[in-house]
Structure 1
Amino acid sequence: VMTSPGNNTITTLERIALLVLYTAVLLIGVLGGVFMCTILKSNLRSVTMVAVLNLTIAHFVFLLTVPFRIHYFISNNWIFTSGFCKIVSGMIHIHMYMAFTIYVIILSVRIMTFYKGAEQFTFHRNLHSLGASVTMWTLICIVVLMLLFSYGSNNEVESKCFTFGAMIKKPGVQELNYIISSIFIIVPCIFCTFQGKIILSIVRKYGSEIGVQQEFWAQMKSLCFISIMLVCFVPYHIFRLKYLQEPEKDEVINEIFLAVSSLCCIDLLIFTSRGICYKTTLICCL
């Protein structure tokens, strides 16, 4: 049963789907964070490691909001302030945009490293990596403050949350969303093409000995990141192209797709495990 137009009523099946997805996100994210702690002592002058460190922090901040989503979909009643609702609602989008941006940085560095050499892509000092991270998080804090003052001003029912579809109808917002969704769809396809060429060249180079080559496993991890983008982000943004036309009609379905996008937290498990990386890529390809 689908939600009716202009109504934020959620069916039992939809509520169960959301609870299962967010519970899985919470468990996967915590487990990945635990594993990630084992490699955080690595060289923090590496652009890739700094990006992964910030990705870990982004996951952690987002995971702090997941229990509130689980509570809401269990009770179907928002008992916290409307301002906190804006933050929890907006955080899943911020998390997705941050994860996507960091994936693009990691994949770009890996592709350039493959062709030009790793020594060109490190910070000269730890202070430089710290400065880059602080700059990024300062921008995120500014976005959060903007959410508090402007986002969700049309949400009139205090007991409800995540019902901000009407905001999309504001001038310029819909057009901006079309541009963002197009980027989220096109960029992973471009990376997939580049990565396919790289892996094919490695296979031709090493032949039957490819399984013991570190270079191969590094590129397989890159393929895993691309697979996450294709599985978690692309379907949501394809749906969003339709959602932007009637945002108040499909709010619950939009929440389900958003929950799927947050499964990108599995990336930390992939980054810390060669075996998980290989199996995940194999499953995605199948």
Structure 2
Amino acid sequence: MEPTNTSAPLNASNLDVGHCNAHCRMILTTLYSVVFLGGTAGAVMMSRMMLKRNTQSMIATIVLNIIVLHSILLVSLPFRLSYYVLVTWEFGYFTCRLVSSIIYCHMYLTFVFYVAIVIFRLLIYFKKLQLQQLKKYHAVVLSIIIWIVGSLIFLPIFLLLYGTSSSYSEQQRCFEFYKDFNHREFIILNYSMIAIMMTVVVTLFLIQMGVIVQLIKVLWPDLWAHQEYRAQIKSCFFLLVIVVCFIPHHAFRVHFLQNYSEGENSELVLYNEIFVALTTVCCLDMLCFVGGVIH
């Protein structure tokens, strides 16, 4: 993914240099294929399950938003798979920017909805919020606010800043937007997002573990017979998805920001691509629910 000299013949060998060699492409193709197939199956089955139950709860509405986010990402994955299989980008520069930005929009908005579920359940546990007070329109209003705020944050970045550097190749190459990390505003933005996500996850994880330990002490040994315990375990599942899928990317991003320099560190770029791909694995969350991994 280093700058390309467009006067030189463009072939698979050239693309391997600094971007993604055959081994890297195999890893990414396998990972994206599993996510695409498993995520699509999970989204379809979970949607059917929710329609049959006609659930009106606030949590169900938030889960529906997550399914919509997953679906948007899943639609973009065949474009990525085509690129890694064919080793060339055939869909134009704007589409490249769009497909590349979707993966980040999906990650951060999914993170917000995951956190919303965890916070709501914690508020109910600590008696700060009554379940009877939560109506479907509350969830709809919250969802609209999150989508609007997300759009106001990501659309300007995508339209005005992301991928607009003159150093990008507009022919047959894609996903080189890590070059923006040479710009001060993107470095500040990335460190800010890393700090926010790490702080929120650590705080919620400690609170969640404290709640679960307390419930174990009170409800042992009939833990699974109590809805309150099962609800907190589900919240813990969402936090676990964040830790497995999102935190490694952000932890590595710190190392990437400190060591990346354009024209060097091609291996660093390869690892960055793999950690970015790992964030899409969260699309398998609905498959876990449908498959009974978490009830």
Q: Equivalent residue for 1:255?
A: 273
Q: Count residues in correspondence.
A: 272
Q: Equivalent residue for 2:284?
A: 266
Q: Deviations over 1:134-183 (max 9, x none)?
A: 34334445534651443101222421111012212223220121111122
Q: Does residue 204 in structure 1 map to residue 217 in structure 2?
A: yes
Within 5 A, what are the aligned runs for 1:107-126? 107-116=118-127, 117-119=129-131, 122-123=134-135, 126=137
> In the aligned structure 2, how far is the partner of 1:247 from the partner of 1:105?
37
Cα pair 1:86 1:148 within 8 Å, conserved = no
| C-alpha displacement of 1:51 | 1.4
Question: CA separation of 1:102/1:145 partners in 2, compared to 1, >3 Å: closer, same or farther?
Answer: same
Q: Does residue 153 in structure 1 map to residue 164 in structure 2?
A: yes
Q: Equivalent residue for 2:58?
A: 47
Q: Equivalent residue for 1:26?
A: 36
Structure 1 counterpart SS, 2:175: coil
Q: Equivalent residue for 1:67?
A: 78
Root mean square deviation of aligned Cα: 2.4
Cα pair 2:96 2:175 within 8 Å, conserved = yes
> In the aligned structure 2, how far is the partner of 1:67 from the partner of 1:15?
14
| C-alpha displacement of 1:11 | 1.2
Q: Which moved more, 1:146-155 or 1:131-140?
A: 131-140
| C-alpha displacement of 1:47 | 2.9
Q: Does residue 218 in structure 1 map to residue 231 in structure 2?
A: yes
Cα pair 1:243 1:254 within 8 Å, conserved = yes
Within 5 A, what are the aligned runs for 1:132-171? 132-142=142-152, 143-144=154-155, 146-154=157-165, 155-171=168-184
Q: Equivalent residue for 2:14?
A: none
Structure 2 counterpart SS, 1:172: helix
% identical aligned pairs: 30
Cα pair 1:152 1:167 within 8 Å, conserved = yes
Q: Does residue 173 in structure 1 map to residue 190 in structure 2?
A: no
Q: Does residue 191 in structure 1 map to residue 204 in structure 2?
A: yes
> In the aligned structure 2, how far is the partner of 1:235 from the partner of 1:48?
27
Q: Deviations over 1:92-119 (max 9, x none)?
A: 0000001111111110001111111542
Question: CA separation of 1:136/1:191 partners in 2, compared to 1, >3 Å: closer, same or farther?
Answer: closer
Q: Deviations over 1:202-227 (max 9, x none)?
A: 11112121132222222111111111
Which amino acid in structure 1 is aligned with residue 134 of structure 2?
Answer: T
4+ residue segments displaced more than 6 Å: 3-6
> In the aligned structure 2, how far is the partner of 1:82 from the partner of 1:150?
14
Q: Which runs of 5+ in 1 are unaligned?
A: 279-286
Instruction: Pick from 233, 244, 248 the counterpart of residue 231 of structure 1.
Output: 244
> In the aligned structure 2, how far is the partner of 1:177 from the partner of 1:243?
11
> In the aligned structure 2, how far is the partner of 1:247 from the partner of 1:236?
19
| C-alpha displacement of 1:129 | 4.0
Q: Equivalent residue for 2:294?
A: 277
> In the aligned structure 2, how far is the partner of 1:85 from the partner of 1:121?
44
Which amino acid in structure 2 is aligned with residue 251 of structure 1?
Answer: V
Instruction: Calculate the TM-score normalised by the size of structure 1.
Output: 0.86
Highest Rg: 1 or 2? 2
Which amino acid in structure 2 is aligned with residue 34 of structure 1?
Answer: V
| C-alpha displacement of 1:131 | 4.1
Cα pair 2:93 2:170 within 8 Å, conserved = no
Which amino acid in structure 2 is aligned with residue 15 of structure 1?
Answer: R
Q: Equivalent residue for 2:24?
A: 14
> In the aligned structure 1, how far is the partner of 2:104 from the partner of 2:222?
42
Instruction: Pick from 93, 104, 109 the counterpart of residue 98 of structure 1.
Output: 109
